[in-house]
């Protein structure tokens, strides 16, 4: 063995960063927030220890640490959960509402839209409603049309609400801490298919600011703007197209509202082309708003019209083969990028 090899063998090996899933990241973020602030409470169906710590185990172990008075398993009544959280927020607490699936949020629209979102405006800024509404959704797991909708565009249309949707575990942890500390109500959307994904643990007290997008992959030819689970598809397509000589910049919005217009505009100004991707229904979706803003602000600088990709204008099918047909395909994403690259004025 040479002297160099001997020294390398003797040198201490760098420890690999600890990996955590999105479920573990969310659990850790809530745990840290509850330890730091006694006003943080969690309400929802099956969230307590007796019920197993939530359907997706995000609150596992928290009842044992903080007691049933702070981790409250509720009856099956989204209206009651949301009403209680609005009331608690008005008294100065920072409640977290767990709504098992996003479709069920519709039952509590009055409490969210007419109370949580509006009270700061109606009080002239004297009243804050600091609460987080955690909810889960996602296509591709066979839950059917009443359990799979992505309704972020509905809520992004409501002044007073912030809309967050992480694509990875590290962001989920940082965004959850920021959401709990926010003085406005936050809709926190968790995709079922992201729960098991692992990221390096960002550590204790990690935060990601609301309203700040991430450049998930740098590129120079076209900007692919997305959020949530479809960030994974975007990165895979970008890698594939790199083999064809197309440099794709992937923007992970992380927060839909507030929208990080500066990051998105800077990216599209650089590339001159944009494709907007989301899993939600394409028609009237957030992609339409983003495309409109880009056309308004960069019309003379765009090399091609902004392309939009989203789910089919249909309820999410129950049958697996139809559900898979409903979901935007990676080849559709690649085709849209090739189309914008080939566009001639």
Indicate which residue of 78, 152, 190, 323 is catalytic.
78
Average pLDDT over residues 51-55: 88
Rounded to whole angstroms, the Cα distance separating 277 from 98 reads 27
Q: What is the pLDDT of residue 274?
A: 98
32, 115, 147, 190: the catalytic one is: 147
Beta bridge partners of 43: 72, 97
pLDDT of the residue at 10: 60
Gap between the Cα atoms of 50 and 68, Å rounded: 10
User: What is the per-residue pLDDT for 318?
Assistant: 87
Domains contained in the chain, CATH given? 19-200 (3.40.50.970), 214-342 (3.40.50.920)
64: pLDDT strictly greater than 80? yes
Whether the pLDDT of residue 139 is over 60: the answer is yes
What pLDDT shows up at residue 5? 63
Contact 262, 211 (CB under 8 A): no
Q: How confident is the model at residue 175 (pLDDT cuts 50, 70, 90)?
A: very high
Asked whether the predicted pLDDT for residue 8 surpasses 80, the reply is: no
pTM for the model stands at 0.93
Confidence at 280, pLDDT banded by 50, 70, 90: very high
Residue 295 bears catalytic tag = no
Active site residue 147: yes
Q: Tokens for 65, please give them.
A: 């640490």
**pLDDT value of residue 198:** 95
Per-residue pLDDT at 7 exceeds 60: no
Q: How confident is the model at residue 210 (pLDDT cuts 50, 70, 90)?
A: very high
| pLDDT 10s digits, 294-322 | 999 999 999 999 999 999 999 898 888 99
Distance CA(279)–CA(218), nearest Å, equals 22
| pLDDT > 90: percent of the chain | 86
Q: Write down the mean pLDDT value for the chain.
A: 94
* pLDDT at site 35: 97
The residue assigned the tokens 């309203």 is 211
What is the H or E stretch that residue 277 is in?
A: strand 274-281
What mean pLDDT comes out for the span 105-111?
Answer: 95
Q: Cα–Cα distance between 169 and 26 in angstroms, integer?
A: 8
């Amino acid at each position: 063995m040479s002297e160099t090899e001997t020294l390398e063998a003797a040198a201490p090996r760098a420890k690999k960063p600890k990996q955590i899933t999105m479920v573990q990241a969310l659990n850790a973020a809530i745990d840290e927030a509850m330890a730091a602030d006694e006003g943080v409470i969690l309400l929802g169906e099956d969230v307590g220890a007796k019920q197993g710590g939530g359907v997706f185990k995000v609150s596992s172990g928290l009842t044992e640490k903080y007691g049933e008075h702070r981790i409250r398993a509720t009856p099956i009544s989204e209206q009651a959960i949301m009403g209680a959280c609005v009331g608690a927020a008005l008294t100065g607490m920072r409640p977290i509402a767990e709504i098992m699936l996003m479709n069920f949020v519709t039952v509590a629209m009055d409490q969210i839209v007419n109370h949580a979102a509006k009270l700061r405006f109606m009080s002239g800024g004297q009243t804050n409603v600091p609460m987080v509404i955690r909810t889960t959704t996602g296509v591709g797991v066979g839950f059917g049309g009443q359990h799979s909708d992505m309704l972020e565009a509905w809520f992004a249309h409501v002044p007073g609400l912030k809309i967050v949707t992480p694509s990875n575990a590290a962001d989920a942890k940082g965004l959850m801490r920021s959401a709990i500390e926010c003085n406005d109500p936050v809709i926190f959307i968790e995709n079922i298919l992201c729960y098991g994904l692992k990221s390096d643990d960002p550590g204790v007290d990690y935060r990601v600011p609301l309203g700040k997008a991430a450049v998930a992959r740098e590129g120079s030819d076209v900007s692919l703007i997305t959020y949530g689970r479809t960030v994974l598809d975007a990165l895979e397509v970008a890698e594939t197209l790199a083999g064809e000589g197309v440099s794709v910049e992937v923007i992970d919005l992380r927060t839909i509202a507030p929208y990080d217009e500066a990051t998105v505009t800077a990216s599209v100004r650089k590339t001159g082309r944009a494709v907007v991707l989301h899993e939600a229904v394409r028609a009237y979706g957030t992609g339409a708003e983003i495309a409109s803003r880009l056309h308004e602000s960069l019309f003379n600088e765009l090399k091609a019209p902004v392309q939009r990709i989203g789910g089919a204008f249909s309820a999410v099918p129950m049958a697996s083969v139809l559900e898979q047909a409903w979901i935007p395909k990676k080849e559709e994403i690649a085709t849209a990028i090739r189309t914008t690259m080939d566009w001639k004025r």
